[in-house]
Amino acid sequence: MGGALSARLELDRYPLTGRFLLGRLRDAMSEDEKATIESLIERVEDFDASQQILARGQLCDKSTVLIEGFALRTIEEGNKRFVVGIQVPGDFIDLHAFALKRLDHNIVTLGPARVGFCSHKRIERVMETNAHLARLLWFSTLLDAAIHREWIMKLEQLRASRRAAHILCEIWQRLDFVELGRLGRIETPLTQSDLADMCGTTAIHMNRALAQLRKDDLAHFQRGSVKVPDRRLLERYSHFDPTYLYGEGVLGMQGELTMKNGE
């Protein structure tokens, strides 16, 4: 079955969580487990613009699934904002809040978004009654950690233009996983300021970095809409290797977490 058709069927059956682990471990979930994940969502909320949905240090008794749109993880210090993560549709944004109860960062929607809220009581029941599904939920949280490690490494390795290119390549790949990638372009609500805060640089330096990408005909950025003449060239320029996203390659899952008969 083709990826697009498979995704369409998942979304028809599970309109709120059909993109969860799509492109990674979605196939390792039984239909009962997919239905269980769908049933976790107790409330859906739509946001017309950027909105903080969880503040640093706020006691929380629920976690959030991103159904549509994008969200950022942010930390504010010394009157400066640092963007330490970006979430795409299908991400269980703050599942680790189930264990931590208070996060060390903020969760903010990036432009229009639709989110689903899951109470920790319901998540706790899953953890207690379905070890296999609990492990898949754990995997999704550890995947976030793998992405954070890659960001830290690239922040040290690459100058601003290559860091920005790497982030764009990552977003594109993650959108591909959930069948939202587009041919020849990346569509997000990201601004130059957002990218600067992701790359640990100033808006002025990011403007120069994006100008360099445009000059080299690698990427043409205009308020989130990025035209890319040659995707592979952009990936080579940014030293982007998608392995850390656990979709394929040496870290790709090959049935290790699929439920076996009798489990």
Please tell me the pTM assigned to this model. Answer: 0.94
Q: Which amino acid is at 260?
A: K
Element (H, E) at 236: helix 231-237
The answer to whether residue 2 scores a pLDDT higher than 70 is: no
pLDDT in tens, 224-233: 799 999 999 9
Average pLDDT over residues 42-52: 96
User: Could you give all domains of the chain from N- to C-terminal order, each with its CATH number?
Assistant: 1-145 (2.60.120.10)
**CA 46 – CA 31 distance, rounded (Å):** 27
Give the model's pLDDT for residue 247.
87
Average pLDDT over residues 198-211: 95
**CA 206 – CA 214 distance, rounded (Å):** 12
Phi, psi (rounded to 5 degrees) for 88 = -120, 165
Q: Which two tokens stand for residue 208?
A: 């120069």
Q: Which two tokens stand for residue 216?
A: 């080299």
Name residues whose C-beta falls within 8 Å of residue 166's C-beta, 6 or more positions apart in sequence: 154, 158, 238, 239, 240
**Residue pair 244/152 in contact by the 8 Å Cβ criterion:** no
Average pLDDT over residues 132-154: 94
Instruction: State the CB neighbour count (10 A cutoff) for residue 75.
Output: 15
pLDDT confidence bin for 91, thresholds 50/70/90: very high
Nearest in space to 92 (alpha carbons), one of 139, 51, 46: 139
**Residue pair 73/84 in contact by the 8 Å Cβ criterion:** yes
- The radius of gyration computed from the CA coordinates of the chain, to the nearest angstrom, equals 18
Nearest in space to 51 (alpha carbons), one of 35, 69, 67, 36: 69
